[in-house]
Structure 1
Amino acid sequence: MEKYSLDQIKDEFIVQVGTLQRTLYDQELQMEILGGLIKKVRLERNMTQEELGKLIGVQRAQISKLENNTTNVTVDTILRVFSASKAKVNFNVELLNSNVKIAW
């Protein structure tokens, strides 16, 4: 049985790296992961969506949309959500084969 890496599978069945379709796919996947993290942290802090919404000044429905990736999210909102959840946020940006890390 031949084995394939996840990247090989994505290249074969999604589309090659460097194309607009692949970039959009990867961005969508990252937003799904971010929504899952928001929900995980909220639940670990024993907060309802309504409680988290009140802490950051939005309605419960907005928290639901964030968790389910049904809305565009700003960096400011991400920072407010994780700050209210008392979670540390790190961004990792890759630029021309070098890494830049920023922590809040």
Structure 2
Amino acid sequence: MKNKENELEMFSFDAIKDEFIGEVGTVKRTLYEQELQMEILGDLIKKVRLERNMTQEELGKLIGVQRAQISKLENNTTNVTVETILRVFSALKAKVNFNVEILNSNIKIAG
């Protein structure tokens, strides 16, 4: 027989995020998700750079920035433009694809 006091209640990761960060669509949740994506992007840049046997300084020289800027990018401590991301991955000889998904939108383009 199970003892109710010893049973653990299970929660999904999404339910925990909803509770402590905010539901999908809220400003706080959107900022959290964007920051998480930028952290993943920084980790990816570092991983590819290391696979290419490049130092931060070498990568910086290829795209015209100081080593410190590459460090900040890899550690997600700076704002970065799409142009910079494209330059970094181009220097790393990596192909970049962007997937833009617009939910609940009625966008019309005049033709």
TM over 0.5: yes
Q: How does 1:1-104 map to 2 (within 5 A)?
A: 1-96=8-103
Paired residues in the alignment total 98
Q: What secondary structure does 2:40 align onto?
A: helix
Q: What secondary structure does 2:101 align onto?
A: strand
Stretches (4+) displaced over 4 A: none
More strand by share: 1
| Higher Cα Rg, which structure | 2
Q: Deviations over 1:11-51 (max 9, x none)?
A: 12221111111111111111111111111110111100000
Q: Deviations over 1:30-79 (max 9, x none)?
A: 11111111111101111000000001110000000000111100011000
Q: What secondary structure does 1:39 align onto?
A: helix
Worse overlay, 89-98 or 14-23: 89-98
CA RMSD of aligned residues (A): 1.6
* Partner residue in 2 for 1:102: none
Q: Give unmatched runs, 5+ long, in structure 2.
A: 1-7, 106-111
* Partner residue in 2 for 1:101: none
Q: Tell me, in whole angstroms, the C-alpha distance in 2 between the residues paired with 1:96 and 1:20.
A: 15
Worse overlay, 60-69 or 16-25: 16-25
Q: Give unmatched runs, 5+ long, in structure 1.
A: 99-104
Q: Tell me, in whole angstroms, the C-alpha distance in 2 between the residues paired with 1:8 and 1:19.
A: 14
